[in-house]
Amino acid sequence: MKDVLENIEGQFEMFQVLDENGEVVNKDWMPDLSDDDLKELMRRMVYTRVLDQRSIALNRQGRLGFYAPTAGQEASQLGSHFALEEDDYILPAYRDVPQLIWHGLPLYQAFLFSRGHFHGNQFPEGVNALSPQIIIGAQITQAAGVALGIKKRGKKAVAVTYTGDGGTSQGDFYEGLNFAGAYDAPAIFFVQNNQFAISVPVEMQTNAKTLAQKGVAAGLPSYQVDGMDVLAVYAATKHVRERAVNGDGPALIETVTYRYGPHTMAGDDPTRYRTEDMTSEWEKRDPLVRLRKLLEKKDLWSEDDENKVIDDAKEDIKKAIKKADDYPKQKVTDLIDIMHEELPNNLQEQMEEYKEKESK
């Protein structure tokens, strides 16, 4: 009888391209990105960091509702998204709003989503994505379905779904991986291991040494990637995407990352479960700093470039908030209206009742 566990766990290594000093440490995997692409990646990360800071501030002023901070996870979120194409279908979790925005969701709609307005979930034609999933794990089995559908339709695309370290404990996670594997469906299961599920550290979440190894049981190629290294995340995602669209089936990527902020803005207090030392250790691996160092060495990025992105982002946010403010307030009759294609009799009656209420 052979115990393979140690063997399997021991074989996972953290995939890295760009180290903390902005040095390319893995030339074989340095992605084939133009200077403009590299700058665009940088721009998106800076923009998203600003968006995060502004969203937190707006939430504190009572001008945004539900919000899950993203700072620290930009490389995981934007590096993976950068490897996707427009036709790829995204099934995000609540923290994955940045990917949606770069996939084409207008900012004001992201704000309306946060404020609990249904229009925030009415994605424009061509934005191939679901709105952020609140139920941990629900999107993962659905991703297997989207991927199988893509395959049946013969499209050259993938379904990519995001979850966290905590999400890998749900039964839905294993079911989704297994289904996609069984059908050889073009799915990418993307796990952002930010070390905590609210307060629960990943070490208490599972006895598995890596989350990547959870894909092995389902027969999926699975990788553990430095989630603070945007080039590694991009390269890994590009790789598994190509496999998938070429009919080689699904894969799993675990990015090892960290959220700097609280879990959400609804009263989470990180000092109850982690030290400030831990946070500052992770900040040293910051994804923005790393790429900036590389770009500066290549003379591709300056303080002016950075400031311009910051100003642009602030301006966009201002306009989007204004647009969200101006959007008609949501009414109960709107909600009745979106329940069914044709209103059944109970709702017809209630529609009249609430029209009257709302007219008062």
Partner 1 sequence: MAQKTMIQAITDAMHHELKNDDNVLIFGEDVGQNGGVFRATEGLQDEFGEERVFDTPLAESGIGGLSLGLALQGFRPVPEIQFIGFTYEAMDAINGQIARMRYRSGDSKSAPITIRTPFGGGVHTPELHADSLEGLIAQQPGIRVVIPSTPYDAKGLLISSIRNNDPVFFMEHMKLYRSFRDEVPDEAYTVELDKADVKREGKDVTLIGYGAMVHTALKAAEELEKDNIEAEVIDLRTVSPIDTETIVESVKKTNRVVVLQEAQRQAGVASNVISEIQERAILHLEAPILRVTAPDTVYPFSQAEEVWLPTHKDVIDKVNEVINF
Q: Contacting Mg ion (CB under 5 A), which of 99, 139, 169, 194?
A: 194
Torsion of CA 170, 156, 244, 91, to 10 degrees: -20
What is the DSSP code string of 312-346?
HHHHHHHHHHHHHHHSPPP-HHHHHHTS-SS--HH
Least Å distance between CB 287 and ligand TPP? 16
Residue 186 is a binding residue for Mg ion (CB under 5 A): no
Q: Count of CB atoms within 10 A of residue 35's CB?
A: 11
Q: Of all residues in this chain, which one has the CB nearest to Mg ion in the complex?
A: 164
Q: Which of residues 195-214 bind ligand TPP (CB under 6 A)?
A: 196-198
Least Å distance between CB 192 and Mg ion? 7
Q: Which listed range, 54-62, 147-155, 161-169, 333-341, lies at the site for ligand TPP (CB under 6 A)?
A: 161-169
Q: Count of CB atoms within 10 A of residue 42's CB?
A: 22
Specify the residue, 154 or 344, whose C-beta has the smaller distance to partner 1. Answer: 344
Residues 139 and 130: beta-carbon distance below 8 Å: yes
Q: What angle do CA 42, 43, 49 make, to 5 degrees?
A: 90
Residue 134 is a binding residue for ligand TPP (CB under 6 A): yes
46 vs 336: CA distance, rounded Å = 40
Least Å distance between CB 136 and ligand TPP? 4
Q: Site residues (CB under 8 A) for partner 1? A: 65-66, 94, 115-118, 120-121, 134-137, 166-167, 169-171, 197-200, 204-206, 266-268, 272-273, 329-332, 334-336, 339, 346-347, 350, 353-354, 357-358
Residue 273 known to be catalytic: yes
Least Å distance between CB 45 and ligand TPP? 18
Contact characters 242-271, ligand TPP, x per CB under 6 A: ---------------------x--------
Residue 338 is a binding residue for ligand TPP (CB under 6 A): no
Least Å distance between CB 194 and Mg ion? 4
**Catalytic one of 43, 241, 263, 290:** 263
DSSP class of residue 93 equals: B
Q: If DSSP codes are grouped into helix, strand and coil, which group holds residue 13?
A: coil
Q: What angle do CA 44, 97, 155 make, to 5 degrees?
A: 85
Count H helices and E strands in the chain, helices first. Answer: 15, 8
Q: Contacting ligand TPP (CB under 6 A), which of 35, 36, 86, 135?
A: 135
Decide which of Mg ion, partner 1, ligand TPP, none touches 117; Cβ closer than 5 to 8 Å per partner kind: partner 1
Q: Which of residues 36-55 bind ligand TPP (CB under 6 A)?
A: none
Distance of CA 18 to the CA centre of its chain: 21
Least Å distance between CB 170 and partner 1? 5
Tokens of 92: 């995000």
**Catalytic one of 95, 117, 259, 290:** 259
Residue 263 known to be catalytic: yes
Specify the residue, 157 or 161, whose C-beta has the smaller distance to ligand TPP. Answer: 161
86 vs 117: CA distance, rounded Å = 26
- Closest listed residue to residue 290, CA positions, set 69, 79, 13: 79
Task: Please list the helix, strand and coil fractions of the chain in percent, rounded to the nearest 5, in that order.
Answer: 55, 10, 35
Bridge-partner residues for 189, per DSSP? Answer: 161, 252
Residue 54 known to be catalytic: no
The residue type at 187:
A
165 vs 209: CA distance, rounded Å = 12
Decide which of ligand TPP, Mg ion, partner 1, none touches 347; Cβ closer than 5 to 8 Å per partner kind: partner 1
Binding residues (CB under 6 A) for ligand TPP: these are 95, 134-136, 163-167, 194, 196-198, 263
Active site residues: 259, 263, 273
